[in-house]
């Protein structure tokens, strides 16, 4: 219902666009600048894969190429599915490839994705302090500062509580769960235990630094696309568009957010003197850059995971026993290192 309502609204909005002028701007775009934008955008995906790998490695999945392939496949599927369905696929892909329980992989993904909103809040505070942003974003200054302080306190408490938590020894929880409710409860217990074990200050610091690099890459992508289309958008305008789009697109209501992205982008850059037709041209370029390469790569990589047979726990244990990190993998997955 939400998607249908948004599509109707976007059709009405699309009728106000001079698509001939927008297409003219796209056709005259600078190819070198477009190539730079594509390269920077792909680099942000690589950075996100490394950020996920920071948590995957101690969870028993030390392969960075696997994290990269799964991240690209998930990003590609996000462009053809609604509600970020590609992220759920990432969990299935890595769990099937490694034999690690999905609850543990989900914990790594939850921790990794936690730093997207953290980085967004930091970027918002920085943008309001460093640039003259539209009033619609300026009003979020103090709420963002307060949120940033609360986030810092919560992350510090999370790390402290995880490091000082005492392990539970409850025999009843080791028995095989019965029924749907029992399986869900057991899954959540494993998820919480994995999250607790993976939480350390060095990993959080590394994830935060990588998040800020990723946000900087997204901002550069927006700016390169505007320059490629020969549309004069200041860095403050690109930042306002990036913030507004990510503030309004918490949930993908349409595949790839096509349509809604253009609407928000046009509203965000209008205070900087950018005409609507030019804004639409730039936003279409940005989405082409963000969607087509990743979707093609993701669709090419997805079958590798979809048709791959699930790795057995016995094979995983034998592999773990032959190398380092056996203790970490056993604690997270419950796989015995004994033959």
Instruction: Report CA torsion sign: 276, 277, 283, 286.
Output: negative
Residue 313 lies in a domain: no
Of residues 3 and 105, the one with the higher pLDDT is 105
Measured CA to CA, the distance from residue 132 to residue 124 in angstroms comes to 12
Domain coverage including residue 184? 2-308
Residue 254 lies in a domain: yes
| Over residues 115-144, mean pLDDT | 88
Residue 325 lies in a domain: no
Residues 138-172: tens digit of each pLDDT:
888 888 889 889 988 988 887 877 766 665 544 44
Measured CA to CA, the distance from residue 158 to residue 51 in angstroms comes to 18
3-state secondary structure of 339: coil
Measured CA to CA, the distance from residue 216 to residue 212 in angstroms comes to 6
Measured CA to CA, the distance from residue 301 to residue 270 in angstroms comes to 39
Residue 321 lies in a domain: no
Q: Given this model, what pLDDT does residue 320 score? A: 43
Residue 229 lies in a domain: yes
Q: Could you tell me the pLDDT band of residue 324, with boundaries at 50, 70 and 90?
A: very low
User: Which pairs count as long-range contacts for 44-49, CB under 8 Å and 24+ apart, including other chains?
Assistant: 44/213, 44/214, 44/217, 44/218, 44/221, 45/71, 45/72, 45/75, 45/294, 47/210, 47/213, 47/214, 47/217, 48/112, 48/210, 48/214
Q: Could you tell me the pLDDT band of residue 21, with boundaries at 50, 70 and 90?
A: low
Residue 269 lies in a domain: yes
Q: Given this model, what pLDDT does residue 255 score? A: 54
Counting the structural domains of the chain, the total is: 1
| Res. 322: pLDDT tops 60 | no
Residues 48-79: tens digit of each pLDDT:
999 999 999 999 999 999 999 999 988 887 77
Task: Scan for tokens 């600078």, then name that residue.
Answer: 30
Residue 334 lies in a domain: no
Residue 246 lies in a domain: yes
| Over residues 290-307, mean pLDDT | 76
Closest-CA residue to 223 (of 234, 213, 214, 215): 234
Cβ proximity of 293 and 41 under 8 Å: yes
């Amino acid at each position: 219902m939400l998607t249908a309502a948004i599509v109707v609204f976007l059709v009405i909005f699309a009728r106000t666009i001079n698509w001939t002028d927008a297409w003219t701007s796209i056709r005259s775009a600078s190819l070198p600048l477009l190539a730079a934008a594509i390269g920077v955008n792909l680099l942000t995906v690589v950075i996100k894969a490394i950020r996920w790998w920071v948590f995957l490695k101690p969870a028993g999945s030390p392969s960075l190429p696997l994290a990269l392939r799964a991240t690209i496949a998930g990003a590609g599927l996000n462009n053809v599915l609604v509600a970020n369905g590609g992220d759920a696929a990432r969990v299935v892909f890595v769990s099937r490839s490694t034999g690690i329980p999905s609850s543990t992989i989900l914990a790594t993904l939850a921790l990794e994705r936690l730093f997207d909103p953290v980085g967004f809040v930091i970027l918002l505070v920085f943008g309001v302090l460093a640039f003259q942003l539209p009033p619609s974003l300026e009003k979020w200054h103090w709420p963002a500062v307060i949120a940033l302080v609360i986030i810092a306190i919560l992350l510090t408490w999370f790390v402290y509580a995880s490091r000082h938590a005492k392990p539970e020894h409850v025999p009843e929880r080791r028995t095989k769960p019965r029924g749907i409710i029992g399986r869900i409860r057991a899954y959540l217990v494993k998820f919480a235990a994995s999250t607790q074990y993976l939480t350390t200050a060095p990993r959080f610091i590394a994830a935060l630094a990588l998040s800020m690099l990723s946000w900087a890459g997204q901002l550069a992508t927006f700016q390169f696309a505007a320059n490629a289309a020969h549309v004069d958008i200041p860095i403050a305008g690109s930042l306002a568009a990036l913030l507004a789009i990510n503030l309004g697109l918490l949930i993908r209501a349409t595949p790839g957010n096509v349509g809604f992205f253009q609407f928000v982008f046009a509203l965000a850059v209008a205070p900087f003197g950018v005409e609507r037709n030019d804004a639409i041209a730039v936003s279409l370029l940005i989405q082409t850059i963000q969607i087509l390469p990743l979707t093609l790569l993701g669709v090419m990589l997805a079958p590798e995971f979809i048709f791959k047979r699930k790795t057995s726990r016995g094979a995983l244990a034998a592999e773990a026993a032959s190398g380092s990190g056996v203790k970490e993998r056993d604690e997270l997955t419950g796989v015995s290192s004994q033959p």
